[in-house]
């Protein structure tokens, strides 16, 4: 069995040798799935995993846009349409300088399994760009999003591929992209999830991922006769997922000690209560500021360039990025 698993992983490495994140994801799945396939003869010789590790379609395109100085900038756009066996491709769009083909294939591959576990008829996909929204004006982000969608629109649709948000893509970016899609297709269709509630979005959508993280942890704690009440919690990130994970953990009686962004993390031993979380939401969602401003405002510690995992706690909730 070990030899079969290794042989499969080696074959994947030959074809995707410069994509360590993708190889990692495939390895984790192969170690579980290959023994299952071997124990169920009806799946033998069907090349199931070999088919699943190859995206049905990979789209890569140029995204030119004008900055506020009138200079042309060029980024690279991607959409990995990984698998549509049970429904339209579904998965987020990420805008971050680290975005490349390997990371998006890793995320799209995992998205296939995540979506299938919901029992909803959704396939898996992922996309984005190496564009960095940090430090950009609203007009620059709008021009980028419109240029990005001017190519992506021909590859997506409500019955084909339904993108969502991810790192760097929140309600503002989804709004700009949906407006451009609507203009180009001359139709108002549910092709992007994560839209504002006032123009077709879903209630509880902003809270869903962060709440889900805490609900899952809560159920795991219940198997041990434990709960969040009275526990200390360390959270990474300070975006949508981290904000609502903090909110729900606090509602359940926990004390949240940290939040972070790419510049470092804050440590507040008094806990991040509802009033402090409202400050974070204003800072991140409206002002687009850095988490250090929290430390300056509330007089707590800021650890530059570090992650919060060295802080002693009862529960750790990763809410920033993959492989934390």
For residue 44, the model assigns a pLDDT of 86
Per the structure, the count of domains in the chain is 3
Whether the pLDDT of residue 45 is over 90: the answer is: no
Q: What pLDDT is recorded for position 199?
A: 83
What is the average per-residue pLDDT within 242-264?
A: 98
Mean pLDDT of the chain: 96
Say which residue the tokens 């809270």 belong to: 207
Helix 20-39 with 2-15: angle, nearest 10 deg: 150
Same-domain status, 25 and 85: no
Q: What is residue 10's predicted lDDT score, i.e. its pLDDT?
A: 96
Helices (DSSP H) in 234-303: which residue ranges? 240-251, 274-281, 292-298
Give the separation between CA 63 and CA 65, rounded to whole angstroms: 7
89 & 118 share domain? yes
pLDDT of residue 251: 98
- Please check whether residues 220 and 191 belong to one and the same domain: no
Q: Is the pLDDT of residue 310 over 80?
A: yes
Residue showing tokens 């920033």: 320
Q: Which of 90, 105, 126, 276 is catalytic?
A: 126
168 shares its domain with 231 = no
Are residues 227 and 116 both part of a single domain? no
Residues 143 and 229 in one domain: no
**323 falls within a domain:** no
| Final residue in a domain of this structure, among 52, 69, 87 | 52
- Distance, in Å, from the CA atom of 32 to the CA atom of 113, rounded to the nearest integer, reads 13
**CA atoms within 13 Å, Cβ hemisphere of 291:** 29
- Residue 322 inside a domain? The answer is no
Question: Of the residues 203, 222, 248, which one is the last residue of a structural domain?
Answer: 203
Check residue 208 and give its pLDDT: 94
Instruction: Encode pLDDT of 182-238 as tens digits.
Output: 999 999 988 999 998 888 889 998 999 999 999 999 999 999 999 999 999 999 999
Asked if 156 contacts 162 with a C-beta cutoff of 8 angstroms, the reply is yes
* 118-177: pLDDT as tens digits: 999 999 999 999 999 999 999 999 999 999 999 999 999 999 999 999 999 999 999 999
Which domain range does residue 137 map to? Answer: 57-203
2 contacts: CB under 8 Å, gap ≥ 6: none
- Domain contains 245: yes
Does residue 163 lie within any of the structural domains? Answer: yes
pLDDT at residue 6 in the model: 94
- Are 211 and 298 found together in one domain? yes
190 plus 66 within the same structural domain = yes
Q: What is the per-residue pLDDT for 285?
A: 92
Task: Reply yes or no on whether the pLDDT at 242 is more than 80.
Answer: yes
Alpha-carbon distance 6 to 191, whole Å? 40
As a whole-number percent, the residues of the chain with pLDDT over 70 amount to: 100
Residue 45, class by beta-carbon neighbours within 10 Å (0-12 exposed, 13-18 middle, 19+ buried)?
exposed
Single out the residue in 151, 180, 203 at which a domain terminates: 203
Q: How far apart are CA 55 and CA 159, in angstroms?
A: 18
> Which pLDDT score is estimated for 323?
86
Residues 67 and 167 grouped into a single domain = yes
**126 counts as catalytic:** yes
- pTM to 2 decimals? 0.91
Give pLDDT, residue 55: 98
Per-residue pLDDT at 231: 98
pLDDT value of residue 238: 97
């Amino acid at each position: 069995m070990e030899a079969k698993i290794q042989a499969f992983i080696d074959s994947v490495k030959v074809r995707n040798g410069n994509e360590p994140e993708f190889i990692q994801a495939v390895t984790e799945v192969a170690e579980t799935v290959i023994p299952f396939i071997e124990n169920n003869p009806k799946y033998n010789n069907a090349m199931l995993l070999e088919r699943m590790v190859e995206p049905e379609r990979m789209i890569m395109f140029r995204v030119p846009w004008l900055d506020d100085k009138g200079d042309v900038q060029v980024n690279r756009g991607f959409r990995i349409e990984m698998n549509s066996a049970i429904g339209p491709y579904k998965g987020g769009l990420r805008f971050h300088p680290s975005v490349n083909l390997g990371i998006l294939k890793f995320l799209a591959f995992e998205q296939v399994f995540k979506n299938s576990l919901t029992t909803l008829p959704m396939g898996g996909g992922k996309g984005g760009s190496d564009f960095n929204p940090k430090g950009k004006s609203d007009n620059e982000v709008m021009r980028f999003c419109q240029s990005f969608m001017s190519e992506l629109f021909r590859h997506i649709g409500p019955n084909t591929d339904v993108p969502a948000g991810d790192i760097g893509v929140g309600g503002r970016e989804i709004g700009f992209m949906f407006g451009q899609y609507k203009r180009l297709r001359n139709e108002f269709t549910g092709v992007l999830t994560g839209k504002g509630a006032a123009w077709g979005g879903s209630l509880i959508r902003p809270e869903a991922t962060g709440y889900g993280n805490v609900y899952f942890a809560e159920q795991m704690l219940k198997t041990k006769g434990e709960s969040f009440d009275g526990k200390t919690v360390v959270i990474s990130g300070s975006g949508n997922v981290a904000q609502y994970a903090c909110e729900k953990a606090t509602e359940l009686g926990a004390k949240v000690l940290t939040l972070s962004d790419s510049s470092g993390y804050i440590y507040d031993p008094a806990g991040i209560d509802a009033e402090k979380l409202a400050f974070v939401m204003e800072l991140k969602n409206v002002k687009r500021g850095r988490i250090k401003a929290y430390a300056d405002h509330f007089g707590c510690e800021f650890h530059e360039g570090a992650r919060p995992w060295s802080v002693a706690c009862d529960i750790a909730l990763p809410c920033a990025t993959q492989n934390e």
